[in-house]
A = this chain, B = another copy of it.
Amino acid sequence: MSISDTHRRRKGLLIVLSGPSGVGKDAVLAEFLATCPGVVRCVTATTRAPRQGEEPGRDYHFLDLDEFRRMVEAGELLEYAKVHNNYYGTPRKWVEDTLATGTDVILKIDVQGGLAVKKLMPRAIAIFLAPPSVEELERRLRSRLTDSERDIEKRLSDAKGELERIPDYDYLVENDSLQDAVDRLRCIILAERSKIER
């Protein structure tokens, strides 16, 4: 065993990636996963309808409300939350089993859910992906063209509340350029892996 193995933790890191709707979480996460070995994404369960191009089991586990309720009642979700009138939840057993093998797990999760996970598992690394400004966030939401004006206004109003929770997170990554944000995210994971266990 090498000197550094002796001081390294055996379990995987649980990484929470949150940020307001429209900040670019999906693009950053996809590029990050392609460039940082040893991290897998947890596939969230949701009651919302698939968007164009989304695949069941790859992007989300798409469930109907009854199936989702059953998982909640059976304690099979690490956390769940209602966001924009849909439910989202994190399958507990899959997360725990994957961490136990030493693989890092990243959860793409709304702020409400992210903080619930952080409370339940305080060693989780909570990363907030922020836009450079609220104005830039609005521009990005409008360029997405998938949402109605009413949706956009609701998302912007939610975003302002979410930005106020930044102090409850561990790290802040600004998504100004995709490449810089991905590099910063990768650095946070490599640094966390280099931390010495006390």
Contacts and interface: CB of A to CB of B under 8 A. Distances in A.
Interface of A: 2-4, 7-8, 128, 130-134, 163, 166-167, 169-174, 183-184, 186-188, 190-192, 194-198
A184 B8 CA distance: 15
A184 B174 contact: no
A28 to B, nearest CB: 14
A174 to B, nearest CB: 4
B188 A169 contact: no
The 9 lowest CB-CB distance pairs between A and B, nearest first, are A191-B191, A187-B187, A187-B190, A4-B174, A188-B191, A171-B194, A3-B130, A187-B191, A172-B196
Contacts of A194: 171-173, 184, 187-188
Contacts of A4: 130, 132, 172, 174
Contacts of A187: 186-188, 190-191, 194
B132 A172 contact: no
Nearest to A197: B167
A184 B190 contact: yes
Nearest to A187: B187
A167 B7 contact: yes
Contacts of A163: 3
Contacts of A130: 3-4
B191 A3 contact: no
A130 B6 CA distance: 12
A171 B128 CA distance: 23
Contacts of A197: 167
A184 B198 CA distance: 20
Nearest to A175: B4
Given A2-B133, A188-B194, A191-B191, 18 more contacts: A3-B130, A3-B131, A3-B132, A3-B163, A4-B174, A7-B167, A128-B196, A167-B196, A170-B196, A171-B195, A171-B196, A173-B194, A184-B190, A186-B187, A187-B187, A187-B194, A188-B191, A191-B192
